[in-house]
């Protein structure tokens, strides 16, 4: 796969605004996809926030392989970064978010109190790559449709303050990807999760990667989903899925484009059980 590069103007602006607005917040929420804790972690964000208190929120954790995800939580914990498994859609662990925030900021709050500084609303900034679930999380936290949501990358185009409660305010930011990446696995993992548009990488290449990945790590779930006995050969597997699911064209030929769409949809919706694309041993 050739090196992929994209860096729309609004992302350049977003990075600049994030850096400028850090002084306005007490803590940064870094939202990553629990299925790709490394590929969805923009390294530029960690550089920008520097010593600002942070909480990594592993969103869509219900779709992840919990054993693999636990390894990643330990990995970031060893770097001094607190992590929390959440699911913005189901509401999993959302109630723990404020509690964890207060714990991280405990020393800062006590120090201000000892100086006689009056309590004020905690302010946080939420940062993440496109399509990782930022808007859905904010809507869940605020219990209203505070921001526009969508299942396509790049829905949020500007920064906005959202009042979560009387003592909790959140600054939303546009999704920010890094300018380029050289590791093809990162590109494929972002594509498999839907973090980048399906038009950026060829569907056949992405699905070939998905096929080999499922065959390697989730073989039984892969076979069971489509009632297959053998998935050794990619094209034969596509043919079998296409015929079993009726993805056919005139002349009873398999419509591979429909099979690609089906495979990616099933993978993104958790039809193979908990799946984590970033294997911890791969780093």
Mean pLDDT score, 49-60: 93
Q: In three state form, how does the secondary structure of 234-274 look? A: HHHHHHHHHHHHCCECHHHCECHHHHHHHHHHHHHCCECEC
The percentage of residues in the chain with a pLDDT greater than 90, rounded to a whole number, is 52
Tell me the sheet residues that pair with 165: 168
Residue 142 pLDDT: 82
Residue 264 pLDDT: 97
> Which residues fall within 8 angstroms of residue 136, CB to CB, at 6 or more apart?
88, 89, 149
pLDDT digits (tens, 9 = 90+) for 190-240: 999 988 888 888 999 999 999 999 999 999 999 999 999 999 999 999 999
Instruction: Decide if pLDDT at 7 tops 60.
Output: no
More confident residue, 16 or 210: 210
Tell me the sheet residues that pair with 57: 31, 84
What percent of the residues of the chain are helix, what percent strand, and what percent coil, each to the nearest 5?
45, 15, 40
Q: Which two tokens stand for residue 54?
A: 């942070």
Half-sphere exposure of 13 (CA within 13 A, CB side): 9
Contact 192, 210 (CB under 8 A): yes
Q: How far apart are CA 165 and CA 155, in angstroms?
A: 24
Q: Which residues of 200-222 are buried (b: 16+ CB within 10 A; e: fewer)?
A: ebebeebbbbbbebbeebbeeeb
Confidence category of residue 8, pLDDT binned at 50, 70, 90: low
Which run of H or of E encompasses 12? helix 9-21
Confidence category of residue 177, pLDDT binned at 50, 70, 90: low
Whether this prediction's pTM lies above 0.85 is answered by: yes
pLDDT digits (tens, 9 = 90+) for 130-159: 788 888 898 888 876 554 444 444 444 456
Which domains occur in the chain, in start order?
4-180 (3.40.50.300), 202-282 (1.10.1580.10)
Instruction: Decide if pLDDT at 167 tops 90.
Output: no
Instruction: Decide if pLDDT at 255 tops 60.
Output: yes
The percentage of residues in the chain with a pLDDT greater than 70, rounded to a whole number, is 86
Average pLDDT of the chain, as a whole number: 86
Exposed (0-12), middle (13-18) or buried (19+): which is 48, by Cβ within 10 Å? Answer: middle
If one counts every other C-beta atom within 10 angstroms of the C-beta of residue 169, the result is 19
Residue 159 pLDDT: 63
């Amino acid at each position: 796969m050739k090196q992929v590069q994209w860096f729309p103007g609004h992302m350049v602006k977003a990075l600049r605004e994030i850096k400028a607005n850090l002084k306005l917040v007490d803590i940064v929420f870094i939202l990553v996809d629990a299925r790709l804790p490394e590929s969805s972690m923009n390294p530029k964000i960690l550089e920008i926030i520097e010593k600002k208190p942070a909480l990594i929120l592993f969103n869509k954790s219900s779709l992840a392989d919990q054993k693999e995800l636990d390894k990643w939580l330990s990995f970031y914990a060893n770097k001094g970064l607190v992590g929390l498994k959440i699911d913005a859609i189901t509401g999993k662990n959302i109630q723990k978010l404020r509690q964890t925030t207060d714990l991280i900021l405990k020393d800062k709050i006590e120090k201000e109190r000892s100086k006689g500084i009056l309590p004020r609303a905690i302010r946080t900034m939420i940062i993440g790559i496109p399509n990782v679930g930022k808007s859905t999380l904010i809507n869940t936290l605020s219990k209203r449709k505070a921001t526009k949501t969508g299942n396509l990358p790049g829905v949020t185009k500007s920064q906005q303050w959202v009042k979560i409660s009387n003592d909790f305010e959140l600054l939303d930011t546009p999704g920010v990807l890094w300018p380029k990446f050289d590791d093809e696995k990162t590109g494929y993992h972002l594509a498999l999760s839907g973090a980048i548009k399906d038009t950026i990488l060829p569907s056949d290449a992405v699905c070939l990667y998905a096929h080999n990945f499922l065959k390697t790590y989730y073989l039984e779930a892969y076979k069971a989903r489509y009632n297959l006995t053998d998935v050794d050969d990619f094209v034969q597997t596509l043919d079998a899925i296409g015929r079993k699911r009726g993805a056919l064209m005139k002349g009873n030929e398999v419509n591979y484009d429909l099979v690609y769409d089906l495979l990616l949809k099933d993978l993104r919706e958790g039809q193979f059980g908990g799946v984590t694309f970033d294997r911890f041993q791969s780093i």
